[in-house]
């Protein structure tokens, strides 16, 4: 998009919002940040949320404390191709436990569900879900991972976005999978993420959260892509329950020092949103 057209588009968004303007900080492709800030400021906005060329005014209230450097997951941009070379295989050959837990999620909702891959990275899980007949889409904060996902899997909708302010309407999905994507969010903000998962799930839908786990308190652990936290499974389950979700199953795996990518304990929590069944399991009358 040309700079003038882009500036005009931003002005229109601001005008559309009307007074009082409640736009928030600009989070954007870095080279365009200055321009956007100037134009938004000229247009009378206080701040704005912008992502992958699209301004999302509807997310304003929930992302008001973000800045580019604070968005979790962005450090993956520095290792995007290496990440893809290592993990971009849609049969998840190195992760049989993960693959089967995701399959269980799909079987629980049944049919051809609409599934969100939240924090999709380079999109191999999204593609695996597509191969299983799901209408799957992916969202991730790291734009370079999203570029690689789009290049590898044309035809699948991959969006740059933040799991703390998902760019989807309420009850849009039958299922949500979050595979090791909540670990980079500061624990104080994880309730926001969980609230977003619950918001976009339809009643009766299911959520799978997979994460590095801790036998004791939730604690930071060393991770190549920046800050990360290992969660106590009960602590995460408690947050999910607080968001109105109900536990269906969990798999908690001890660390396997002899297995490269299972060197930390891991947990897989399956929850469902109360509501009419959208899968094969009958509910009581």
Ligand X SMILES: C[S@@+](CC[C@H](N)C(=O)[O-])C[C@H]1O[C@@H](n2cnc3c(N)ncnc32)[C@H](O)[C@@H]1O
Query: What are the residues binding ligand X (CB under 6 A)?
Result: 72-73, 76, 87, 119-121, 125, 140-142, 145, 162-164, 179-181, 184-185
To ligand X, the closest distance from the beta carbon of 165 in angstroms equals 9
Nearer to ligand X, 25 or 43 (CB): 25
To ligand X, the closest distance from the beta carbon of 274 in angstroms equals 26
To ligand X, the closest distance from the beta carbon of 39 in angstroms equals 26
Strand partners, 178: 209
Peptide bond into 20 cis (omega under 30): yes
Angle, CA 22 vertex, CA 18 and CA 26 arms, to 5°? 115
Q: Say how many CA atoms lie within 13 Å of 89 toward its Cβ.
A: 11
**Residue 257 vs residues 228, 261, 264, 265: alpha-carbon distances, Å:** 19, 9, 8, 10
Strand partners, 165: 162
To ligand X, the closest distance from the beta carbon of 225 in angstroms equals 7
Nearer to ligand X, 17 or 243 (CB): 243
Nearer to ligand X, 14 or 146 (CB): 146
Nearer to ligand X, 66 or 109 (CB): 66
DSSP SS3 for 109: helix
Nearer to ligand X, 37 or 88 (CB): 88
Q: Report the sign of the C-alpha dihedral through residues 186, 51, 269, 255, in that order.
A: negative
Q: Which residue matches tokens 């191969």?
A: 131
Nearer to ligand X, 119 or 233 (CB): 119
Q: Can you point out the beta strands (E) in 17-89?
A: 50-51, 54-55
To ligand X, the closest distance from the beta carbon of 175 in angstroms equals 14
Q: Can you point out the beta strands (E) in 45-134?
A: 50-51, 54-55, 114-118
Alpha-carbon distance of 19 to 71, in angstroms, equals 28
Nearer to ligand X, 162 or 174 (CB): 162
To ligand X, the closest distance from the beta carbon of 177 in angstroms equals 8
Q: Which residue matches tokens 């700079």?
A: 3
Q: Encoding tokens for residue 270?
A: 């399956």
To ligand X, the closest distance from the beta carbon of 210 in angstroms equals 8
């Amino acid at each position: 998009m040309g700079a003038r057209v882009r500036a005009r588009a931003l002005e229109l968004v601001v005008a559309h919002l009307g007074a009082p303007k409640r736009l928030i900080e600009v989070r954007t492709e870095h080279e365009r940040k200055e321009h956007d800030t100037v134009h938004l400021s000229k247009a009378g906005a206080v701040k704005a949320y912008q992502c992958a060329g699209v301004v999302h005014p509807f997310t304003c209230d929930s992302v008001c404390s973000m800045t580019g450097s604070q968005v979790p997951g962005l450090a993956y941009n520095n290792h995007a191709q290496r990440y893809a070379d290592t993990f971009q295989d849609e049969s998840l050959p190195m992760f049989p436990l993960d693959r089967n837990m995701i399959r269980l999620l799909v079987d629980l909702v049944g049919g051809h569900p609409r599934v969100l891959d939240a924090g999709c990275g380079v999109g191999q899980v999204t593609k695996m879900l597509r191969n299983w007949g799901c209408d799957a889409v992916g969202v991730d904060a790291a734009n370079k991972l999203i570029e690689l996902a789009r290049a590898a899997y044309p035809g699948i909708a991959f969006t740059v976005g933040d799991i703390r302010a998902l760019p989807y309407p309420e009850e849009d999905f039958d299922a949500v999978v979050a595979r090791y994507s909540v670990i980079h969010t500061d624990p104080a903000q994880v309730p926001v993420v969980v609230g977003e998962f619950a918001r976009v799930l339809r009643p009766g839908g299911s959520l799978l959260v997979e994460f590095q786990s801790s036998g004791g308190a939730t604690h930071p652990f060393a991770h190549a892509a920046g800050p990360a936290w290992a969660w106590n499974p009960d602590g995460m389950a408690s947050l999910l329950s607080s968001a109105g979700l109900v536990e269906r199953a969990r798999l908690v795996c001890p660390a396997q020092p002899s297995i490269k990518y299972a060197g930390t304990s891991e947990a897989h929590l399956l929850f469902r949103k109360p509501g009419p069944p959208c899968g094969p399991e009958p509910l009581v009358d």
